[in-house]
Amino acid sequence: MDAVSRRLLKELREIDKEAEAHPEIVELAPESDDDLLRWRAILAGLPDTPYEGGQFELGIEVPSNYPIQPPIIKFITPICHPNVHFKTGEICLDILKTAWSPAWTLKSTILAISVLLNNPEPSSPLNCDAANLLRCKDKLGYESLIRMYTQLFAVKQ
């Protein structure tokens, strides 16, 4: 077994051990038993946020030289957020690019994305419409837009 597989199996054991400590992570696991380099996560929208009630799927591609290189993580579920591209699901987050460190795990990275949902950075937007609402200090408009898209795409009917 190679070093990447050993690291990912260790991370998987840690995720299972600490599952109850992070209710925002509904699921974080490899897509299949045959391929440890393709994972999927489901993040729950936190209570008292415009994402409340939503469940957002993310696709995770682990590079063959992980943890030296960061994973590629994208939202599969459409989500309205200043730092997420609505069509591609690309996430603008420094730890997924220049600020990556091998100390990060898949779980800590998913938790950082959860924190980003409630702490957007409108100065580096991938969704200009959402970012502009925040820049104009239109919190009501911003949260209404988020709630609408959460209801449309992330709430199971």
* Domains of the chain (ranges, CATH numbers): 3-153 (3.10.110.10)
Kindly give, in sequence order, each residue whose CB lies less than 8 Å from that of residue 107, ignoring residues fewer than 6 positions away.
11, 14, 15, 18, 22, 25, 28
Is 92 one of the catalytic residues? yes
Q: Which of the following is catalytic: 80, 92, 128, 136? A: 92
Separation between Cα atoms, residue 104 and residue 134, nearest integer Å: 29
Kindly give, in sequence order, each residue whose CB lies less than 8 Å from that of residue 46, ignoring residues fewer than 6 positions away.
24, 52, 114, 117, 118
Q: What is the pLDDT along the chain (157 residues), one digit of tens a residue?
A: 799 999 999 999 999 888 788 889 999 999 998 999 999 999 999 999 999 999 999 999 999 999 999 999 999 999 999 999 999 999 999 999 999 999 999 999 999 999 999 999 999 899 999 999 999 999 999 999 999 999 999 998 6
Within 24-151, strands assigned E span 25-32, 35-44, 55-61, 72-75
Separation between Cα atoms, residue 65 and residue 21, nearest integer Å: 29
